[in-house]
Amino acid sequence: MKILGLTGGSGTGKSAASAAFAALGCGVIDADAAYRTLCETCTPMLKEIQSVFPKSLYPNGKLNRKELGQAVFSDPDKLRQLNAITHPYIRRAAREALAEYEANGCALCVYDAPVLFEAGLDSVCDKTCAVLAGRETRIARIMARDNISHEYAALRIDAQAEDAFYRKRCDYLIQNDADLDSLHAQVRRIYDDILR
């Protein structure tokens, strides 16, 4: 089985690219979805987060994502601390999901991870691909998706790697500022190239 690491900043359209790969029959693992599940179910991870970010949990033990987000997106050191806690849990979940796809005979699995390189997850991938989009396009998408302010969406983007980071590291790039037909055509070319 081939593994394509799919990455890029918030609001670039990684989910749309993942869906396009899935439509071609690829397996897809969404690191963000795995993280959200872990935030609901993984008590050891939540306790570790709370030990560093005391206000990050509600009294009922659930994660206060907004409080945590405000703490880490404005402070790179705090974001690194959070990632140091969560990445090992996300990696474990990814390895389990990849093993299941391989056991089921999947030819290509897409691992959608916003911090693919930062978490060292590119090491399990045969190829890597970044989805890129213009800043204002990304801000508009994040605002619509998460119902947040322009300022908070911009903070998220500013806390993430710039396009040059991905251009230097990735085998493939998808520019996602146009329509879905353009996105699907780019995905198809990458799919064909990897499985050639």
Residue 81: give its domain's CATH number.
3.40.50.300
Q: Which domain holds residue 139?
A: 2-191
Q: Which of 152, 26, 180, 105 is nearest to 18 (CA)?
A: 26
- The pLDDT assigned to 69 comes to 87
Structural domain contains residue 196: no
Structural domain contains residue 86: yes
Q: What is the pLDDT along the chain (196 residues), one digit of tens a residue?
A: 999 999 999 999 999 999 999 999 999 999 888 889 999 999 999 999 999 999 999 999 899 988 898 889 888 899 889 989 998 998 888 889 999 999 999 999 999 998 899 888 899 899 999 999 999 999 999 999 999 999 999 998 998 899 999 999 999 999 999 899 999 999 999 999 999 9
Distance of alpha carbon 114 from alpha carbon 102, whole angstroms: 22
Q: Contact, 113 vs 121, CB < 8 A?
A: yes
Structural domain contains residue 27: yes
Name the domain count of the chain: 1
Structural domain contains residue 99: yes
- The pLDDT assigned to 16 comes to 95
Q: Contact, 156 vs 165, CB < 8 A?
A: no
Distance of alpha carbon 56 from alpha carbon 166, whole angstroms: 30
